[in-house]
Structures are given as structure tokens and as C-alpha cells.
Copies of this chain bind each other. A is one copy, B any other.
């Protein structure tokens, strides 16, 4: 993750305590947190950090391509620090947990020319939905 900070500094980022903390939270577990969860964890390390800064920082990381924004439903967006490896997501419908998965084959290839309607395709997202083991037991 210090790699990340180094990369960002080379791109002209000012290295502030707030940004370091956000990067640190993202680098922790490989769970995909919401912005507010990231804020809550950041506050534990740097009590005065504001919500706006967390949102700003996440937005910058997304537009720099270091983090992927995942909107699995109409709820809060989640942030996936694993931007440098192609992967898709597996989402628990009950608790919202997201895991990274690696399906076989190239999903883009599954759309025949006759179904492209003249679109210029730039990407594809595949979201597998189901119940995680913990939620499956409860139901």
C-alpha cells in the first residue's frame, strides 16, 4: 500500500494524514466497505477526519483508477481496492457482503454482434447473487 501512496505522490498528490488513513483502511481487510464504513474506521485512527474528505479521497482514487466503485444495489456504493486485477463480484443478497471472484472465459465475448446495437463496448460487469453461508443458515 505504501506503493499506492508512492504512485499517488508521483502523480502530484499532496500526502496528508487523512489520505494516508483512507489508504490504510482500504488496504486492511479485503472486504469492500461503504464510504461511511471507511469513514468510521478512519475516525478511529484520526478522530477529526470529516466525511467530506473521505468521499473526496475515494472519488479521487476511483478517477485515478486505483480503486473500483461497486454499486451492487440501490444501497451505498462500496469500494474495491483490487483495481489492478480483472475480477467480478459475488454478493450476498441478505447482508450485502461482496467477494471478488474470477469466472472463466471472457464475458464480453458472450454478446453476439447482432445484439450490440451499434454500441462501442468498453467493459462488462458480472455480478453473481446468492446467500453467503452465514445468512443461508439463518433463513
**In the complex with contacts A120-B131, A124-B128, A103-B74 CB distance below 8 A:** no
Instruction: Give the chain B neighbours of A118 by CB distance below 8 A.
Output: 132-133, 136
Q: Inside 8 A of A92's CB, which chain B residues have their CB?
A: 119
Mask of A59-80 contacts with B, CB within 8 angstroms, 1/0? 0000000000101111011000
Flag whether A52 is at the interface (Cβ < 8 A).
no
Report how many copies the assembly holds. 2
Given contact pairs A102-B115, A103-B110, A127 touches B124 in the complex (Cβ within 8 A) = yes
Majority secondary structure of chain A interface residues (helix, strand, loop or mixed): mixed
Given A71-B72, A74-B71, A99-B117: A122 touches B105 (CB 8 Å cut-off): no
